[in-house]
Structure 1
Amino acid sequence: MQRGALLILGLWIAAPARAQSTDEVARLARLVEAQQAQIARLEARLNAIDAGKAIAVAPPAPQAETLTAAQNQYHGRAPLGQALPSDAHPPSLDARLARIERLQRDGVQVDWSKGTPEFASADGNFTFRPRGRILIDLGTTTGSSVPSRNITATRARSLRLGLEGTIGKHLSYVLEGDFANNDVTIKSAYLAWTTRFLGQQTEFALGNRLNDRGLDGSSGTISVPFLERNVVAQGIIPARGFFGLGAAARVYGSHWHVGVQVSGDDINNASTSSDSRTIAARAHWNPVKTANWLVHLGAWGFNEKIAGDVVRPVRSIAIGGFYNDNLRVLPGDFAHATRGNGYGAEFALFHRTLWASAEAGARDLRKGSGEAAHHSAWSLATGWFLTGETPPYLARGGVWSRPKVLQPVTSGGSGALELAARYEEIDYSDSPLAGRGTAATLGVNWYLNNFTRLQLNAIDWTITSPSGTGMASDHGQSLVGRAQIAF
């Protein structure tokens, strides 16, 4: 009887473990079946497109139910992480296929949803769209102990015109020219091939492309919540700047992405000597992504070999707005640097209409003689959409995007209103004759529609200048407004 009782007790204890193991195997089997079904649907859609006909393919039921629940909960708002795609991160393959099928079915050849006409062939294999932006600033600075800094002025922050398009299902191109700071330059100029690698969407690009470096640094000026990117993005940067001419590859998962880039100088660099060489990488992950919560984690780094003709490997920082060239954190004198390393980390939290972010980074420069300099920067920011929109964060690439305005002014609504605050600090003082700076910013963004925005930033700044300039520390306030249209 005792042996029988022990046998029954052992079977009773082991039963839940066997049931759990059986449930886990069943769950994995269902997951594999779902992935096989998705691959089959994509292949069917591609075959139908190649045959010149459109088919209606419904998404998997669980995904459709999830999106519907999220949309109902947000009363029409975009789910967290699903803002409009940014210029630097084009739509996924699924979105491209759906668009080609719609064009084949409906015969649509002109689309105005992005603010300018996008022309497409009937089969969707060729598209063309002009793109551009107009950013006009008006600012005033007061309170400075240096009279030349207390100015009121206007500035064309960026006047950009370009084009983009696709050729077939995989090849795309972008070309843009920009007038800013009284100079004309080429910005984005690249070809990209989008395909699948190991079951994930993968993009290969050749040309001049924006860095993949930090939450703000990887996003366009037209997308970040403030007038300018934070000091981490502005100051912890390779000598070549925000753009580099070379090759890049990015792999996108459902909740993550990894990107690498090898590049020389910016495309606008004078070709009188060898280029600098920069190897950079960035990865981001969304460990939490639900209807109400989204968490962003990221890390990045770069290694650079600096060319001999680089006179200034460190950038001055416009701490009170780009309109005032007299108000900058000085980069100091660290000429003839031969190599450098930069690295940083990023964190962001999104909850319905609220968001918060933190970024930090550092850069080490070294000369051939062994002399070194260490620079650092960090930033904390938060924001709130009063009108109910979800924060414009694109989870696919871990970047800022453009919000989906619920009631556009152009349709008789009130637009979208966002309040934002940021505190940031950058320290160049390890270099000779270099300074430090801090800034506290309160911002208001009024989005008239998905591509038009009015901004106002009030900035309380402090800069410490190097000794010998006549002013050890200075403090003041800047008020800067911007009218922006980006299409």
Structure 2
Amino acid sequence: MYRGAMLAMGLCTAMPVAAETGQDDVARLTRLVEQQQAQIARLEARLAAVEGQKVAAMTAPLGQPLASEAHPAPPPQVAGQTVAPPRIPLPLGQALPSDAHPPSLDARLARIEKAQKDGVHVDWSKGTPEFTSADGRFSFRPRGRILVDLGTTMGSDVAARNITATQARSLRLGFEGSVGQHLSYLLEGDFADNDIAIKSAYLAWTTGFMGQQAEFALGNRLNDRGLDGSSGTISVPFLERNFVAQGIIPVRGFFGLGAAARIYGGRWHVGVQVSGDDINNPGTAGDGLTIAARAHWNPVKTADWLLHLGVWGFHEDLATDVTRPTRAIAVGGFYNDNLRISAGSFPNAKSGDGYGFEFGAFHKSLWAYGEYGTRTLRNVAGVSTDQAAWAVQGGWFLTGETPPYLTRGGVWSRPRVLRPFTSGGSGAVELATRYEELDYSDNPTAGRGTALTLGVNWYLNNFVRLQLNAIDWSVANPVAGVWTKDHGQTLIGRAQIAF
């Protein structure tokens, strides 16, 4: 009985202690579960971020690598067996991770996040891959174009002009890129009209100036002169730029090696350029000097309407080795060298001045504009000759696209196709017409001409275009002191890819 009483008393004493100990264990387990839940929540948030970047990569432009491609998944496992991943040699002295103690989930996620942060972004939206560093400070993109023409001329009184031929209008290859936030560069070489030449080759610095964006460039750059003249051949609505852009032009041509500065506002821009001869000019004499300027303004800019006003001018002092101060202009396409407006001869040309005006209107899918330009040439004897050109043109996108006009610089670009043919849509279809006239005939040895063009453009996507131009032309050139008039038609088709 005594022993039973002592045992009962011991049990009664231990029960409160055991109960207290059990409560402490439950509290510790609860805290541990809460900590694990918080850690799991953090890991799930990080995994969601990684998966979100993966989904973004899967919906990126065609050709951009998926996250699974940039960071391969762990190797597959065979039932009852783990396939070891291939080892990549690491720098000398760096230990390989132990297979017996794989890195924690935290470490694995940290490695994935770092790889994504340090990765290179690739964008195929322009037709070629544009590589951009993760911090956006460096970019590089190859660029180029292929323009192939097939044309036929008929109706001319001169048999040599009635020909059918093909031509590689332009085969161009180059690259562009940026270094940091301000510096960019561009270099392109071109094969055109049976000749190889360097086209764009410059460095540009973009920065703020008086509350606006400014760009300063050194090198060989397309000049700023007229709506067509300031735009690339791949962007203008017709196969070739109009007569104002082609004919009222400095001796150095569309490009000049020198310095340029442009300031861009919300609805305007002003640009000046000081340049010598074209970069391909032979070094047998000193360069000429050309000072040019252009400004444009959009007085109306709404969702449905946009107006364009522009003015430009240039002064040139010609080099002593200039023998052809004026260009013979192709009327029916560059493939037919027998059909041109004669430039005549003007010996000992010394200087020249040119200027022009632009007016354009854009309404939803419709556009129209006109240009006028004139140039005066003078020689060492004080004799001068005047040249003039004008053009009016308009177009309509049947498929609803807006005209590819850029208010930044007042130039043509390429349309943003709503339903690309290469993605199962119809592409973009544009109808266009133009009438133009060029008159060199103030010089008795030079000619004049007119052209009426009907054009159809089919944009398969943003960088592929098929074109067809039907041209009714007339020329009047002096031959042996007698004016010889001619009239005919030309039909030209072009396949263009520009990236």
Q: TM-score, normalised by structure 2?
A: 0.76
Q: Hey, what's the Cα distance between the residues in 2 that align with 1:425 and 1:391?
A: 24
Distance 1:427 1:318, change over 3 A: same
| CA deviation string 1:306-339 (max 9, x = no partner) | 0110110000100110110000000011121100
Secondary structure at the aligned position of 2:245 is classed as helix
Q: Counterpart of 1:82?
A: none
Is 1:324 the equivalent of 2:336? Answer: yes
Q: Which of residues 228, 231, 235 is equivalent to 2:243?
A: 231
Q: Counterpart of 1:181?
A: 193
Q: Identity over aligned residues, as a percent?
A: 74
Q: Counterpart of 2:325?
A: 313
TM-aligned CA deviation for residue 107 of structure 1: 5.4
TM-aligned CA deviation for residue 222 of structure 1: 0.1
Q: Which of residues 124, 129, 137 is equivalent to 1:117?
A: 129
Q: Counterpart of 2:179?
A: 167
Do the aligned residues in 2 keep the contact of 1:334 with 1:432 (CA within 8 Å)? no
TM-aligned CA deviation for residue 391 of structure 1: 0.3
Is 1:405 the equivalent of 2:417? Answer: yes
Secondary structure at the aligned position of 1:161 is classed as strand
Matches within 5 A, 1:21-32: none
Q: Hey, what's the Cα distance between the residues in 2 that align with 1:106 and 1:238?
A: 48
Distance 1:469 1:442, change over 3 A: farther
Q: Which of residues 306, 314, 334 is equivalent to 1:302?
A: 314
Q: Counterpart of 1:454?
A: 466
Is 1:154 the equivalent of 2:182? Answer: no
* Aligned amino acid, residue 191 of structure 1: L
* Aligned amino acid, residue 450 of structure 1: N
Q: Hey, what's the Cα distance between the residues in 2 that align with 1:410 and 1:384?
A: 22
TM-aligned CA deviation for residue 470 of structure 1: 6.7
Q: Counterpart of 1:367?
A: 379
Matches within 5 A, 1:102-141: 109-141=121-153
Secondary structure at the aligned position of 2:341 is classed as coil
Is 1:479 the equivalent of 2:491? Answer: yes
Q: Hey, what's the Cα distance between the residues in 1 that align with 2:263 and 2:448?
A: 37
The structure with higher relative contact order (CA 8 Å, sep 6+) is 1
Number of residue pairs the alignment of both structures matches = 385
Q: Hey, what's the Cα distance between the residues in 1 that align with 2:444 and 2:199?
A: 32
Q: Counterpart of 1:58?
A: none
Matches within 5 A, 1:229-268: 229-268=241-280
| CA deviation string 1:178-222 (max 9, x = no partner) | 000111100000000000000000000000000100000000000
Q: Counterpart of 1:215?
A: 227
Q: Which of residues 446, 449, 455 is equivalent to 1:434?
A: 446
Q: Counterpart of 2:402?
A: 390
Matches within 5 A, 1:459-474: 459-468=471-480, 472-474=484-486
Q: Counterpart of 2:292?
A: 280
Q: Which of residues 338, 346, 349 is equivalent to 2:361?
A: 349
* Aligned amino acid, residue 266 of structure 2: S
| CA deviation string 1:369-406 (max 9, x = no partner) | 11000000000000000000000000111000000000
Q: Hey, what's the Cα distance between the residues in 2 that align with 1:229 and 1:105?
A: 45
Do the aligned residues in 2 keep the contact of 1:379 with 1:423 (CA within 8 Å)? yes
Distance 1:290 1:429, change over 3 A: same
* Aligned amino acid, residue 172 of structure 1: S
* Aligned amino acid, residue 236 of structure 1: I
Q: Counterpart of 1:445?
A: 457
TM-aligned CA deviation for residue 106 of structure 1: 10
* Aligned amino acid, residue 157 of structure 2: S
Q: Hey, what's the Cα distance between the residues in 2 that align with 1:442 and 1:196?
A: 43
Higher mean C-alpha deviation, range 134-143 or range 105-114: 105-114
Q: Hey, what's the Cα distance between the residues in 2 that align with 1:313 and 1:228?
A: 21
TM-aligned CA deviation for residue 467 of structure 1: 4.0
Task: Return 5+ residue gaps in structure 1 as ranges.
Answer: 1-103
Task: Return 5+ residue gaps in structure 2 as ranges.
Answer: 1-115
TM-aligned CA deviation for residue 134 of structure 1: 0.1
TM-aligned CA deviation for residue 231 of structure 1: 0.3
* Aligned amino acid, residue 381 of structure 2: S
Secondary structure at the aligned position of 1:410 is classed as helix
Distance 1:114 1:372, change over 3 A: same
TM-aligned CA deviation for residue 122 of structure 1: 1.2
Q: TM-score, normalised by structure 1?
A: 0.78
Q: Hey, what's the Cα distance between the residues in 2 that align with 1:445 and 1:468?
A: 41
Secondary structure at the aligned position of 2:246 is classed as helix
Q: Hey, what's the Cα distance between the residues in 2 that align with 1:282 and 1:420?
A: 26
* Aligned amino acid, residue 402 of structure 1: R
Secondary structure at the aligned position of 1:148 is classed as helix
TM-aligned CA deviation for residue 368 of structure 1: 1.4
TM-aligned CA deviation for residue 431 of structure 1: 1.4
* Aligned amino acid, residue 209 of structure 1: R
Which stretches of structure 1, 4 residues or longer, exceed 2 Å deviation after superposition? 104-108
| CA deviation string 1:270-327 (max 9, x = no partner) | 0111001000000000000000000000000000000110110000100110110000
Q: Hey, what's the Cα distance between the residues in 2 that align with 1:122 and 1:105?
A: 6
Secondary structure at the aligned position of 1:232 is classed as helix
Is 1:195 the equivalent of 2:219? Answer: no
Q: Counterpart of 2:11?
A: none
TM-aligned CA deviation for residue 432 of structure 1: 3.0
Q: Hey, what's the Cα distance between the residues in 1 that align with 2:432 and 2:348?
A: 40
